[in-house]
Amino acid sequence: MSRLIVVSNRVAPITEGKSTAGGLVVGVLDALRETGGIWLGWSGDISGEPSTAPVTETVDNIDFCTIPLTQRDYDRYYRGFSNGVLWPTFHYRIDLSQYNGEDYKGYVEVNQRFAALLATLAQPTDRLWVHDYHLIPLAQACREQGLDNRIGFFLHIPFPSPSVLRTIPRHRELVLALCQYDLVGFQTQGDTQAFVDYATRHLDGVLEGDILQVGERRIRVGSYPIGIHPDQVKTLSKQSARSKQLDALKAGLQHRKLIVSVDRLDYSKGLVQRFDAFDCLLETAPQHRGKVTLVQIAPPSRQDVQGYRQIRRQLESAAGRINGKWTELSWTPIRYMNRSYERSLLMSFFRASQVGLVTPMRDGMNLVAKEYIASQPADDPGVLVLSEFAGAAAEMQDGAIMVNPFDTKAMADGLDLALRMPLQQRKKRYEHLMEVLRANDLSRWRDRFLGDLES
């Protein structure tokens, strides 16, 4: 099998620690460990001068190649266009999108720099696997460098409907750039359909089976829902069973029921709406007052982008307001932790809880939903309450309690149902979901994508 080169904005921290908080990192590192190869991306450092000489560190069978970015790159490519336009728009928050032509220019330039680097690293037979919205123009830039390799692209976040995508002034260029890949993969059928809709409506594209023809280009498109390794997650969830932190959490609960949520602090994750739903539960179902605690773990993320500072303030204010209203001398309803925890500890929190509350307003997949189920004890599993706007809903809707995060009362009712669910029903739902997770695990995601890229 030919060598694999993975390219993503950030490369995994070489030693795994509590900063490994991104879904992409968790997925890709596992995949690359099994095949070996090169992982190329930004080091996370800011340098004075643009650099095309990567620093390479080899760990086991992976070469981690990284370059720094300049402050100007960071402002335009990363903070400006990727996280100030693409992220909000692809998550349907066009109200937060802040387009600026200079940022777009910077975005394309950084992609060109990565392509120049790839031209020095790649052998003609290497397969390139490019990840996520930061790198949409990379294949085009590689073709301009004369690279003829197979190049696949996987989008970890949702692909918006054409009318939303068209709010980005350079939408046509972006989609034409995607057409320079050989394979473009999405998380769900819905995302794939949105891409095909754009191509057929605005670029005269024609779809035959899974091949999309746009002008001279013939590209393969499809959905490749990312999974987890359920058995590894289960093992992890038991590892911290005797940790001091878990003991401290349980001691604080004093046998109350536990609802757990874990998300990067991002406006797409529906955190404020979730707090409001918990407030509504306490309001409308008084039997839960004093009997249940919501633990929200939300590691900070992208704090230099304006929308993120705002969501942090809103969340702090919602937590303060709701706790102020309900807290008793021996009970604090919401425990909001604006920090990250070690992975096995997180999984042990999932295992110790009765409900996993995963309610993004939009999400490509949401790995937390899958990790929550995999962490549960088979003889007394907790219940997943899941937003219908998470990519994970497509696979998990029959076992989770599905809710619309725009409907506060419906979320509160979903929570109530979950908290009251009898053991037999919980087991049935859990067993079904575990089958789903095993049938479409992380290895299958990788094998299907790379198999289709190869063929």
Q: In terms of CB distance, is 200 or 232 closer to ligand GDG?
A: 232
Q: Least distance in Å: CB of 437 to ligand GDG?
A: 13
The reply to whether 156 belongs to the active site is: yes
292 binds ligand GDG (CB under 6 A): no
365 binds ligand GDG (CB under 6 A): yes
23 binds ligand GDG (CB under 6 A): yes
Using alpha carbons only, how large is the chain's radius of gyration in Å?
22
Q: How far apart are alpha carbons 80 and 158 in whole angstroms?
A: 19
Q: Residue 236: which residues within 8 A CB-CB, separation 6 or more?
A: 343, 344, 347, 348, 375
188 binds ligand GDG (CB under 6 A): no
400 binds ligand GDG (CB under 6 A): no
Q: How far apart are alpha carbons 80 and 82 in whole angstroms?
A: 6
Q: In terms of CB distance, is 77 or 341 closer to ligand GDG?
A: 341
106 binds ligand GDG (CB under 6 A): no
DSSP letters along 179-235, please? TTSSEEEESSHHHHHHHHHHHHHHS--EEETTEEEETTEEEEEEE------HHHHHH
Q: In terms of CB distance, is 176 or 294 closer to ligand GDG?
A: 294
Among 2, 3, 20, 70, binds ligand GDG (CB under 6 A): 20
The reply to whether 204 belongs to the active site is: no
* Strand blocks (E) in 353-414: 355-358, 383-387, 401-403
CA 322, 272, 92: angle at the middle one, nearest 5? 165
Do the strands 37-47 and 292-297 form a parallel or antiparallel pair, or are they unpaired? unpaired
Site string for ligand GDG, 71-100 (x = CB under 6 A): ------------------------------
**Tokens (6 digits) for 206:** 């024609």
Considering the candidates 131, 134, 156, 288, report the single residue annotated as catalytic.
156
Strand order in the sheet with 292-297: 334-337, 292-297, 257-262, 355-358, 383-387, 401-403
| Cβ atoms < 10 Å from Cβ of 68 | 18
Q: How far apart are alpha carbons 342 and 18 in whole angstroms?
A: 5
DSSP annotation of 331:
B
Tell me phi and psi for residue 100, to 5 degrees: -155, 125
End-to-end CA distance of the chain: 12
Among 4, 24, 96, 355, binds ligand GDG (CB under 6 A): 24
Q: Least distance in Å: CB of 208 to ligand GDG?
A: 28
Q: How far apart are alpha carbons 213 and 211 in whole angstroms?
A: 6
Count of residues engaged in binding ligand GDG, rule: CB under 6 A = 28
Piece of the chain touching ligand GDG by CB under 6 A; list 13-21, 74-82, 200-208, 319-327: 13-21
Q: Residue 166: which residues within 8 A CB-CB, separation 6 or more?
A: 202
Q: Least distance in Å: CB of 315 to ligand GDG?
A: 15
Largest Cα separation within the chain, whole Å, is 70
Considering the candidates 363, 413, 416, 441, report the single residue annotated as catalytic.
363
Q: Least distance in Å: CB of 266 to ligand GDG?
A: 7
Q: Least distance in Å: CB of 347 to ligand GDG?
A: 8
Piece of the chain touching ligand GDG by CB under 6 A; list 22-30, 47-55, 306-314, 414-422: 22-30
Question: Residue 2 class from Cβ within 10 Å (0-12 exposed, 13-18 middle, 19+ buried)?
Answer: middle
Backbone dihedral region of 15: left (phi > 0), alpha (psi from -120 to 50 degrees) or beta? beta
Among 371, 395, 413, 441, binds ligand GDG (CB under 6 A): 371
Q: Least distance in Å: CB of 337 to ligand GDG?
A: 9
Q: In terms of CB distance, is 26 or 334 closer to ligand GDG?
A: 26
Site for ligand GDG in 379-398 (CB under 6 A): 391
Q: In terms of CB distance, is 335 or 427 closer to ligand GDG?
A: 335
Q: For residue 6, what is the enclosing H or E element?
A: strand 4-10
Among 85, 315, 368, 436, binds ligand GDG (CB under 6 A): 368
Site for ligand GDG in 202-231 (CB under 6 A): 226
Strand partners, 355: 259, 383
Site for ligand GDG in 328-357 (CB under 6 A): 340-343, 346
Q: In terms of CB distance, is 7 or 346 closer to ligand GDG?
A: 346
297 binds ligand GDG (CB under 6 A): yes
Piece of the chain touching ligand GDG by CB under 6 A; list 56-64, 284-292, 361-369, 409-417: 361-369
18 binds ligand GDG (CB under 6 A): yes
Q: Residue 312: which residues within 8 A CB-CB, separation 6 or more?
A: 265, 300, 303, 338
Residues that bind ligand GDG (CB under 6 A): 18, 20-24, 26-27, 156-157, 226, 262, 264, 297, 299, 340-343, 346, 363-368, 371, 391
| Positions marked active-site | 156, 363
